[in-house]
Amino acid sequence: MSKIIRIGTRDSQLALWQAKTVQSQLEHLGHKTVLVPVKSTGDLVLNKPLYELGITGIFTKTLDIAMLNEDIDIAVHSLKDVPTVLPKGIVQTAVLKRGNVNDTLVFKHNEEFLSARDAVIATGSLRRRAQWLNRYPTHTVVGIRGNVNSRLQKLEDNDWNAAIFAGAGIGRLNLTPENSINLGWMIPAPAQGAIMITALEADEEIRAICAELNHEETDICTRIEREFLNRLEGGCTAPIGALAYIKNEEINFKGILLSKDGTKKIEVSKVAPLNKKDDIAEFCADYIIGKGGKTLMDQIKQGDKATNIYSTKKLTEGQSALFHNTVVAESNDAIKISLNRISKHTIKAEIKNVIITSKNAVEALLTNFSPEELQFKNIYCVGRRTKRMVEKRIGKVTHTEPNAKKLADYLVDYIEGTEVTYFCSDLRLDDLPNTLAENHIKVNEIEAYQTKFDADKVENSLDGVMFYSPSTVESFLKQNKANGIAFCIGETTAKVAQKHFEDVRIAKVPTVESVIELVNEYYI
């Protein structure tokens, strides 16, 4: 193949290690390759919502979008992180030979705590937590997040006895400490230790090339494990483990379902000839369900679902589906918009320069006037979504910037003339008109809409709040205290949030999806 194969990967240390492993094997076969680290979903544009395409995986969605946009040819994943149903148009092309399937316990001092009544174990995995508590019910399990290095450091810095890692992950990075043991008794996550390659279903040439890397035994076993998971979970996140391996031309399988606190456990084991491999997952899943698994799954779904993230903008069903499985999000519009009546005489004379900073202003203009009446020579916008709406319904945008401050700075240098009309809200920051006025640019402000504070009072203690404008911050704080993290859509919003919140984080691009990704990064 003469073309260079573009290998998509997340930019974490472990993801890059896995991608480089695939790269090495492809180049050994004589193919030219290049790594393409993919960062944010916000910069990747699709013409359909993510949920319509079946894009749901927290760790995989950025690569799925890049592939559907044909920015990459293949993507490399930890197979255990990949949803059991792939997005439309994307298929599994290969699974490399599996590494260490076990979970690994890393302890600080020695193993004596295993026989003690009280001990503290750290893990961010629901499955590991449940199995540990089932075996050691008097121990305390605490959450831990971050990449492998940061979790090892957290173990060092905290008064914990041990933490649990995927053996393959710490092994591949050569970070396995001497004071560690494999937990052979703990049933791993389905497909743990396996590296998967995906490609576009329509790209037959790439699929054929990747198929040369496929390890058949790993492929067979991980397919059984993932089918078992798919048949059990039904869209619900639950403590499920599965492991299949081949010995003496037979498939050996064991699976487990537990309650979140580990007090209930249903296990299944089965040995079958290789030629009966296609029946194992269904048989074992049905066995679990028949032994009380359905009731247990229903209890898990109805479990304690305390809200930990609040969005000051009502989220769509598709947006809500993008959250990490540990997020329980509540959302509502913290501000209500009322469009003003705009007098005809305000736009009778030709307006040369117009500033529009929100879609609400666009709606207000179109409520009062037809597009034909809105013949502005230069339209300056804030935000690409506002720009798209203006160009679709009014006319061409001369220039756009991600926030009002940057737009003001641009206009100071490049505006045609010395006067501009600003269609704004009754509530706004003064940065833009003040900056222009200080540089001798006259600003004619027209109040296009009113912003009314209408935030909910949130009863639960929150990990964080999602903000989309300075007004949403002000509205929320009229009913609630500034606790947790402020996840902000942009710098202007963050500037207001920083006056009240100690921890303020800004999305990479100004979209709701990017704010959701920011939230997910906290829980990974």
Residue bearing tokens 């007098």? 343
Q: Select from 453, 387, 466, 395 the least CA-distant residue to 426.
A: 453
What is the rounded CA–CA span in Å between residue 445 and residue 430?
11
Instruction: Report how far apart, in Å, the C-alpha atoms of 366 and of each of 39, 195, 249, 372 are.
Output: 37, 52, 71, 10
Contact 148, 165 (CB under 8 A): yes
Burial class (CB in 10 A: 0-12, 13-18, 19+), 228: buried
Q: Which of 43, 71, 81, 261 is catalytic?
A: 81
Q: Select from 226, 211, 197, 220 the least CA-distant residue to 85.
A: 226
**What is the DSSP pairing of strand 335-339 with strand 442-453?**
antiparallel
Contact 361, 448 (CB under 8 A): yes
279 annotated active-site: no
What is the rounded CA–CA span in Å between residue 188 and residue 185?
9
**What is the DSSP pairing of strand 464-467 with strand 485-488?**
parallel
What is the rounded CA–CA span in Å between residue 485 and residue 518?
11
Longest dimension (CA), the chain: 87
Q: Select from 243, 100, 234, 113 the least CA-distant residue to 176.
A: 100
Contact 84, 231 (CB under 8 A): no
What burial letters (b/e) apply to 9-46, b meaning 16+ CB within 10 Å? bbeeebbbbbbebbbebbeeeebebebbebebbbebee
H or E, element range at 372: none
* Amino acid occupying residue 287: Y
The three state secondary structure string of 481-502 is: CCCCEEEECCHHHHHHHCCCCC
Catalytic residue list: 81
